[in-house]
Amino acid sequence: MPRCSETDGGYSARSLAQALDGRLAGDGERRITGLSPLATAGPGDLSFVIDTQRQDEALRASAAGVILVPERADVEAVPGRTLIHLDDVYLGYARASQCLGAIRRARTAGVHPGAFVDPAARVAADAFVGPGAVIGAGASVGSGVVVEARCVVGEGVTIGEGTFLHPGVSLLAGVVVGERCILHSGCVIGADGFGFASAGAQGWEKIEQLGGVEIGSDVEIGANTTIDRGALQATRIGTGVKIDNLVHVAHNVEIGDHTAIAGCVGIAGSARIGAHCAIGGGAGILGHLSIADHVTIHAMTLVTRSIDRSGHYASGVPHQEARLWNRMLARLRRLAR
C-alpha cells in the first residue's frame, strides 16, 4: 500500500502523485476527497483514463479535478484540472483507492461497553473493539486492529497489526492472522475440517481436528468464506493471498504467496497451491494435489490431477442451445455404447 499521510479532508494532488510515483501536471494543491468515473466525477474527485484516444471525448467533457493518465499520453493539463502521469494507470488507480479506503475504515480506538474482552486477553491500546464482539482468553489483538460488531475472536487467537475484521467474522481457537489483513463479514476461520473414519454399519467416527490456521500478512478474505483448521498440522495461507466470497478451503490446504482465488471455488483437503496462481470462479481442486507456481485455472475447471508446470488450464463444456446440447449428449451416449 502506498504511504498516504494525509487523511482529514482528503489528499492533495501532489501528495498522491508522490505516493504513486507519478508525474504531476497542473495544480498540486488541488484536494481529492473521492473516486468517480469520468462521466460523474466532480472537482473534488479523482478519475482515471486507460486509453486516451478511445476515451478522448469523455476525457474532455469530464469535470474531474484530478485524472490519472498514461505516462506517454498526449494530454495536457487545463485550468481546473490536474493530471498525474503513470506507467500503469490501473495499478495507480488501485493504490489511490487504498489511500481513500483507509479513511473509510478508520475507527476511534477503544472497547465498546457492549463488547466482552476476557481478562486474560491482550488488546492494544489503539485497537477498536465494537459492540457485541467477544475476545477470548489468551487472544492477542495487535496495534491498530479493528474488530467490528459481533465478531468472535476465540481463545489463543493472534491478530497482527492493522488488520480489519468486518462485522460478524469468526476466528476460532488458535487461529493466527498476520498484519494488515481484511476479513469480510461472515467468514469463518478455524472450523473443524471434514474428517471422519468409516465405522461400517455403525456410521462414521469423527476425527478431531487438532491443527490450526495460519494466515500471512496483507491477505484479504471475502464474505462467507470458510477456511478449516488442519487435522494435525496447520492450514496455511501465504502472504498477499486474495480470496473472494463463498470460497471453501479445506483442512491442511496450503496456498502460496500472492495467489488470487475467485468466488465459489472449492479446495479439498491437503491440496498444495503454489505462489502467484490465479483460480477462476467455481473451480474445484481435488484433495492431496499439488499445483505449481504461476498457474492460471479458468472458471469452472475441475482439477483432478497435479499440475507441475506453469500455464493456463481449463476444463468443462461451454453452454449451447438446449436442442444442440441434447443432440450432442445423445451422440455421446451412442458412442459409449
Confidence band of 4 (pLDDT split at 50, 70, 90): low
Residue 97 confidence (pLDDT) above 80: yes
pLDDT number for residue 98 = 87
Measured distance CA(146)–CA(90) in Å, rounded: 28
* Average pLDDT estimate for 253-267: 98
Residue 67 confidence (pLDDT) above 90: yes
Residue 7 confidence (pLDDT) above 70: no
Q: Are 178 and 161 in contact (CB under 8 A)?
A: no
Confidence band of 101 (pLDDT split at 50, 70, 90): confident
Phi, psi for residue 247 in degrees, rounded to 5: -100, 140
Catalytic position from the list 85, 166, 184, 251 = 251
* Average pLDDT estimate for 274-296: 98
316 secondary structure, DSSP code: S
**Per-chain mean pLDDT for the chain:** 94
Residue 46 confidence (pLDDT) above 60: yes
Please name each of the domains of the chain with its CATH number.
Answer: 11-104 (3.40.1390.10), 108-186 (2.160.10.10), 196-225+234-337 (2.160.10.10)
Answer yes or no: 312 catalytic: no
* Average pLDDT estimate for 143-167: 98
Cβ contacts of residue 270 below 8 Å, gap of 6+? 250, 251, 252, 253, 287, 288
How far does Cα 259 stand from its chain's mean position? 10
| Helices marked H in the chain | 13-20, 56-61, 89-104, 322-336
Residue 73 confidence (pLDDT) above 60: yes
- Find the distance separating the first CA and the last CA of the chain, reported in whole Å: 59
* Average pLDDT estimate for 111-127: 98
Confidence band of 250 (pLDDT split at 50, 70, 90): very high
* Average pLDDT estimate for 263-274: 98
Kindly tell me the number of DSSP H helices and DSSP E strands found in the chain: 4, 39
Number of other CB atoms surrounding residue 205 within 10 Å: 10
Confidence band of 280 (pLDDT split at 50, 70, 90): very high
Q: Are 285 and 301 in contact (CB under 8 A)?
A: no
Measured distance CA(234)–CA(245) in Å, rounded: 22
Measured distance CA(58)–CA(326) in Å, rounded: 47
pLDDT number for residue 6 = 57
Measured distance CA(290)–CA(299) in Å, rounded: 18
